[in-house]
Amino acid sequence: MTKTALVVGASGIVGSATSTLLAAQGWSVHGLARRPAGQAGVQPIAADLQDATATAAALRDLNPDAVFITTWLRQDSEAENIRVNSAMVRNLLDALPKPSVPRHVALVTGLKHYLGPFEAYGKGTLPQTPFREEQGRLDVENFYYAQEDEVFAAAARDGFTWSVHRPHTVIGMAVGNAMNMGTTLAVYATLCREKGRPFTFPGSAAQWSGLTDMTDAGQLARHLIWAAETETAHDQAFNVVNGDIFRWQWMWERIARWFEVEAAPFDGTVRPLEQQMAEDAALWREIALREGLAEPDLGRLASPWHTDADLGRPIEVVTDMSKSRRLGFTAYQPTDDAFFALFERLRAERLIP
């Protein structure tokens, strides 16, 4: 029998990649979003998870074998992040009928589980790396913990299995996404090339010279489906990264060469992209109109605040995947290839020239 999947946040970086892979593997895929985008093989469901009544109405006839929660809404404070995002998970799981067949619910969070929320990101007592899943929660409010608790409570009530997936920075394709380093760097490099500016690393010395890793959206999609289909992976939390490690001083040069721009030597000064790109909206619109690009609004493509947060950390950040490897997940994705594939897709879809 064909399995049914509900992908929550289907128009985002992770959700769209997961929906595509599920459809390719023969699942019947339903994609929930506030404003669903047309996607081959995905049946759209329009719903605002903040509205419990509307969510229940939208999902009343769906009894999925697997649910993939890949969305969240950024708020002005961590208290509001907790209130809004925990309610969204609660409304979703309350809206679904109690499963009549085995059901698995996968929740995507991230490394802020170890680093703390944006308000305290990389501050105070810094955690030991590589991050491992047995490291407990920090003694600080964190909306990831609140989301997990909603999943755990619903699982105890309704009897489904669950998994939590903690990627590092995700590389993938989505317009209007709040956390999109790959597209942000592509847009920044394009602006540098346009004006002959040096391609200047925006982050910290620790990130420039230390080791790091990242997570391709396709790699994360494979991990999500693997956990749903692997009994020994049920009721577990997992880190998920590409499997390679690199230093930004190496990756920055590779990205610069792809865009045919000059990578400026890093002198130890933090130069955030939010400052570097603060006055670039009009320039981007000019480029988009001249080149016939699909998105002239810089704010819908670039998220410099998030790239600054990742590249400005005062410690190197690497992630251990031994737990997944021991249970049989062996997929691997070179991170530079993930960047280059994204850049090619952005160009093919007329989002960069």
269-299 residue pLDDT tens: 999 999 999 999 999 999 999 999 999 999 9
Query: What pLDDT does 351 receive?
Result: 97
Question: Measured in Å, how far apart are the chain's first and last C-alpha atoms?
Answer: 45
Query: Does pLDDT of 121 surpass 70?
Result: no
Q: For the chain, count helices (H), then strands (E).
A: 15, 11
Task: Give the residue from 278, 277, 276, 298 showing the smallest Cα distance to 288.
Answer: 298
Of 40-44, 137-141, 189-193, 287-291, the poorest mean pLDDT is in 137-141
Mean pLDDT of 121-144: 85
Q: Which residues are catalytic?
A: 112, 144
Of 126-130, 157-161, 228-232, 312-316, the poorest mean pLDDT is in 126-130
Query: Does pLDDT of 119 surpass 90?
Result: no
Mean pLDDT of 110-118: 89
Confidence at 122, pLDDT banded by 50, 70, 90: low
Confidence at 100, pLDDT banded by 50, 70, 90: confident
> Which residues neighbour 334 within 8 Å (Cβ) at sequence distance 6 or greater?
242, 244
Residue indicated by tokens 């062996």: 330
Query: Does pLDDT of 236 surpass 70?
Result: yes
Of 23-27, 225-229, 279-283, 313-317, the poorest mean pLDDT is in 313-317
Residue indicated by tokens 């991990």: 223
Query: Does pLDDT of 228 surpass 80?
Result: yes
Query: What pLDDT does 124 receive?
Result: 60
Query: What pLDDT does 174 receive?
Result: 87
Beta carbons of 143 and 85 less than 8 angstroms apart: yes
- Six token digits for residue 203: 């982050």
* Number of residues in the chain: 353
Query: What pLDDT does 116 receive?
Result: 87
> Which residues neighbour 308 within 8 Å (Cβ) at sequence distance 6 or greater?
202, 203, 272, 273, 274
Query: What pLDDT does 178 receive?
Result: 67
Query: Does pLDDT of 92 surpass 80?
Result: yes
Query: What pLDDT does 1 receive?
Result: 82
pLDDT tens profile 25-52: 999 999 999 988 888 899 999 999 999 9
Mean pLDDT of 229-236: 98
Single pTM value for the model: 0.95
Distance CA 145, CA 151 (A): 10
